[in-house]
Amino acid sequence: MMFEDYKDTALVHVRDAVSGKMADEKIVFLLEKINALSDYYTTSSCYGRIVVAESTADNKKRDYRFLGKWHRTVSFSDAECAIEGYRKNVLFFRVDPVILHVGCRDPDSASRLLKVCQKTGLKRSGMYQIKPRIIVEIMGVDALYAPIGKDGRLMVDDGYIEFLCDIANEKFRNNEKKIGDFADRVSSL
């Protein structure tokens, strides 16, 4: 397959995800900007989120049971309501930063994209795949992973949950700023 074939296929999937409300609404504008560029297309994305979830101790996403998941800032009452559903395993309070997978026409276009990532603070970005197509993974650094419960028992008090919400909201706002900066610069590619 050629680059154009991969891009055509990816654009169909993006349109289906957007029309089916499976894509984060807040990131659609960025997907459209990237996909309008001749040398790039998106394959998957997440705007960033704040999560309360229970999982096994190794914190594998496939084992998650989401109790609360927000693509926005959160209040203490949001977190408190989510925590009420906690029953077993380890309870995690997380902030997941923006993540995008972008197909690139060639190594030069991938390099240009990575330079934009570096300029906007999306420092955990790099080549994810080279063959049969070039994929760049773009990932923010504004993350937080805090275990707060074990075996169905909350291990922290309300004050600490409020503290985590404050930190999470700050990280989420930083993430949003970096997405905006990246969107402003990506048009120059």
Domains of the chain are 3-186 (3.30.1960.10)
pLDDT of residue 59: 62
pLDDT of residue 18: 87
The stretches in the chain having pLDDT less than 70 are: 57-62
pLDDT of residue 152: 93
Token duo for residue 81: 């309501």
Give residues with Cβ within 8 angstroms of 69, minimum separation 6: 49, 50, 51, 52, 53
pLDDT of residue 57: 66
Query: Which helix H or strand E contains 119, and what residues bound it?
Result: helix 107-119
CA distance 159 to 61: 27
Token duo for residue 124: 């955990």
The closest of 84, 133, 135 to 113, measured between CA atoms, is 135
